[in-house]
């Protein structure tokens, strides 16, 4: 291990207060968190401490000027050996955090530091990884600017932290999405491909309007013509036609999901044809009778079917349980990989 991480353990674990049968999402936090501070051009004071609040100056620059980025990943309990904990493609999260950091004029985190801090934190809080089917430990690495200064410029100081929460399924039904034509999530040349906090803040108002109309989520379209489907609020999008599976190609305005990439490779491994290309709303409508299923993918959501999509006041229902074979097969494949139930042809799974 290359980096020295100081560890201050909790005096008493809170795990007995945690009911694994009633987990929910994002409300319970494990005993410890990892924290590091960026000062004078280097990451210093690497520490694992009891989970708890930070004390911040009212002038903390990230609160005013938005230098705040994050990642989302999961740890699983391996079924092979109840003691093993697995991580799924953690280096991809480290790389994406650094792509976000560069675009937001923030310092990168050495990938080894990212991985070592994860490893140390998870080894300490491993008892919190749910053993329940569909349960996982959600991991939130994030970085924010900490200069105590008013003025628009890149901060000189930053904090990188990781905390974890045991989670159950994020969605438990097929979702209704609204094709969004008025608002844009991201702009060409903007920050849509990053996980910067502002992308999510900007999506809240349009999403709330769609929810008032009875939708669960927005299906964002391209910001120039609003013709091409991009992604939903926190997931990528797939359309399964009779002879091909299509997912929108990556652009600067949508997030390169790690689940998206794993689903593409997984489907291809299982013998399906997957095409990454622009996919218009009109094509979805014109070829509606050929669509077997629509589904969305993300770390938190995993793979979830869409019930259908609303477009200009018309609802296009798609979901038929009997036609959801592609998403079910690839979801099972990835779920099995993550808990070492099957051998891993991609070397994606890291065992701690």
The one among 107, 223, 257, 308 contacting ligand PLP by CB under 6 A: 257
Quote the least distance from Cβ 167 to ligand PLP, whole Å.
13
Which listed range, 135-143, 234-242, 306-314, 320-328, lies at the site for ligand PLP (CB under 6 A)? Answer: 234-242
Stretch that binds ligand PLP, among 20-28, 116-124, 172-180, 231-239 (CB under 6 A): 231-239
With CB under 6 A as the contact rule, the residue among 235, 305, 324, 327 that binds ligand PLP is 235
Contact between 98 and ligand PLP by CB under 6 A: the answer reads no
Specify the residue, 115 or 258, whose C-beta has the smaller distance to ligand PLP: 258
Query: Distance between CA atoms of 27 and 20, rounded to whole angstroms?
Result: 13
x/- track of binding to ligand PLP for residues 23-62 (CB under 6 A): ----------------------------------------
Q: Which of 223, 266, 298, 310 binds ligand PLP (CB under 6 A)?
A: 298
> Any contact of residue 302 with ligand PLP (CB under 6 A)?
no
Q: CB count, 10 Å around CB of 170?
A: 18
User: Is 107 a binder of ligand PLP (CB under 6 A)?
Assistant: no
Q: Residue numbers of the site for ligand PLP (CB under 6 A)?
A: 72, 231, 234-236, 255, 257-260, 297-299
């Amino acid at each position: 291990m290359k980096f020295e991480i100081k560890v201050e353990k909790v005096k008493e674990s809170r795990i007995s207060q945690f009911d694994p049968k009633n987990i929910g999402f994002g409300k319970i936090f494990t005993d410890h968190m990892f924290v590091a501070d960026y000062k004078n051009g280097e990451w210093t004071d690497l520490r694992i401490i009891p989970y708890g609040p930070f004390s911040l100056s009212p002038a903390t620059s990230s609160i005013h000027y938005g230098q705040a980025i994050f990642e989302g990943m999961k740890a699983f309990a391996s079924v092979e050996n109840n003691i093993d904990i697995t991580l799924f493609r953690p280096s991809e999260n480290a790389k994406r955090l650094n792509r976000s950091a560069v675009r937001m004029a923030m310092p990168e985190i050495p990938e080894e530091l990212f991985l070592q801090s994860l490893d140390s934190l998870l080894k300490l809080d491993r008892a919190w990884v749910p053993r329940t089917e569909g349960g996982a430990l959600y991991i939130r690495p994030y970085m924010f600017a900490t200069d105590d200064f008013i003025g628009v410029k890149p901060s000189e100081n930053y904090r990188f932290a990781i905390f974890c929460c045991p989670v159950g399924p994020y969605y438990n039904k097929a979702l209704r999405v609204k094709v969004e034509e008025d608002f844009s999530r991201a702009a060409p040349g903007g920050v849509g491909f990053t996980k910067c906090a502002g992308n999510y803040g900007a999506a809240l108002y349009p999403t709330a309007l769609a929810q008032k109309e009875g939708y669960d989520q927005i299906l964002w379209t391209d910001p120039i013509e609003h013709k091409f489907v991009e992604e939903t609020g926190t997931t990528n999008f797939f359309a399964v036609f009779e002879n091909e599976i299509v997912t929108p190609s990556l652009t600067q305005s949508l997030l390169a999901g790690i689940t998206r990439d794993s689903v593409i490779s997984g489907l291809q491994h299982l013998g399906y044809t997957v095409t990454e290309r622009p996919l218009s709303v009109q094509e979805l409508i014109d070829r509606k009778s050929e669509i077997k299923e629509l589904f969305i993918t993300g770390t938190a959501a995993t793979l979830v079917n869409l019930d259908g999509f609303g477009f200009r006041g018309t609802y296009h229902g798609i979901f038929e349980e009997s036609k959801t074979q592609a998403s079910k097969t690839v979801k099972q494949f990835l779920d099995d990989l993550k808990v070492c139930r099957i051998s891993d042809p991609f070397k994606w799974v890291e065992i701690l």
